[in-house]
Structure 1
Amino acid sequence: MASITFKGNPITLLGNEVKIGDQAPDFTVLANDLTPVSLSDSKGSVRLISVVPSLDTGVCDAQTRRFNEEASGLDNVKVLTISADLPFAQKRWCGANGIDNVQTLSDHRDFSFAEAYGVHMKELRLLARAIFVVDSNDIITYVEYVSEGTTHPNYDEAIEAAKAVK
């Protein structure tokens, strides 16, 4: 299992760690209008999944803004940002910040995504910062579990990984 810290403190990750080459596990999260969304809803597209603890924090805000900016230059790539924030808070945050190229999704209800991808931070009941790229056939082609939850992921590597997938 990935080993991470949050503000220097060790964190227990619950769920199943995924690896490059794995079949991407399906999950059900909520869109900002409370409709259920699953991985299979975007089958046939490449997905860059950006996972953040909370949109209302500095690094998560910057991460979501960066992928929102990059999304318009990614052909046939859907950018999903998943957090444990309530859907209403995600909608408010996106509206206040002009975020319209990524889809924000909430895993607050049952941690379906967090458990399927091994990003459930037990001690905080938040999602650990991570990036996943899933190809159009639902195979995981890129994985980054960020080792310290308060630091940035490798944006350039993740974007290049998404561009390289067909």
Structure 2
Amino acid sequence: MAVITFKENQVTLLGSEVKVGDKAPDFTVLANDLSSVTLGDSKGTVRLISVVPSLDTGVCDAQTRRFNEEAAELGNVKILTISVDLPFAQRRWCGANGIENVQTLSDHRDLSFGKAFGVAIEELRLLARAVFVVDSNDVVTYTEYVSEATDHPDYAAAIEAAKAAE
């Protein structure tokens, strides 16, 4: 299991760590209109899944903006940003920040994604910062569990992995 810290304090991640070559586990999260979204809803496309603790923090804001900007270069890659923020807050944040190329999804209801991908922080009921690339056959081709949740992920590596999976 990945060992991570949040503000330099070690935290417990719920679920199983996902590894390159694994079949991506299914999950159910909520779209901004409260409809359910599963991994299967985007089957047949490459997915870059950007996981953030909360959009209302500096690093999460920057991460989501960065992948929103990179989306134009990624062609047939769907970018999903998942957090435990409420869907209403996600919609408000996206509208206020002009985020149109990333789909924000909420895992607040039951941590389905967090537990399936091993990123649910038990002590905080937040998601750990991570990035996953899932190819069009639902195989995980890239993973990054950011060791300190307040640090940035390796954007360049994630973008290259998404391009390679197309």
Q: TM-score range by the shorter chain?
A: over 0.9
**Residue identity in the other structure for 1:78:** K
2:111 corresponding residue in structure 1: 111
Aligned residues: 166
Residue 153 of structure 1: SS of its match in structure 2?
A: coil
Whether 1:134 aligns to 2:120 is no
Deviation at 1:134, TM superposition (A): 0.1
Question: Taking every aligned residue pair, what percent have the same amino acid on both sides?
Answer: 78
Supply the RMSD in Å over aligned alpha carbons. 0.4
Partners of 1:113 and 1:65 in 2: CA distance: 21
**Residue identity in the other structure for 1:17:** E
Deviation at 1:60, TM superposition (A): 0.1
Whether 1:16 aligns to 2:16 is yes
**How do 1:40-119 and structure 2 match up within 5 A?**
40-119=40-119
Deviation string for 1:30-76 (max 9, x for gaps)?
Answer: 00000000000000000000000000000000000000000111111
**Residue identity in the other structure for 2:152:** H
Whether 1:148 aligns to 2:148 is yes
Residue 60 of structure 1: SS of its match in structure 2?
A: helix
**Residue identity in the other structure for 1:135:** D
Residue 74 of structure 2: SS of its match in structure 1?
A: coil
Partners of 2:94 and 2:146 in 1: CA distance: 23
Residue 156 of structure 1: SS of its match in structure 2?
A: helix
Whether 1:37 aligns to 2:37 is yes
The runs of 4+ residues in structure 1 deviating greater than 4 Å are: none
The TM-score, its normalising length taken from structure 2, stands at 0.99
Deviation string for 1:66-104 (max 9, x for gaps)?
Answer: 000001111110000000000000000000000000000
Residue 48 of structure 1: SS of its match in structure 2?
A: strand
Unaligned runs of 5+ in 2: none
1:3 corresponding residue in structure 2: 3
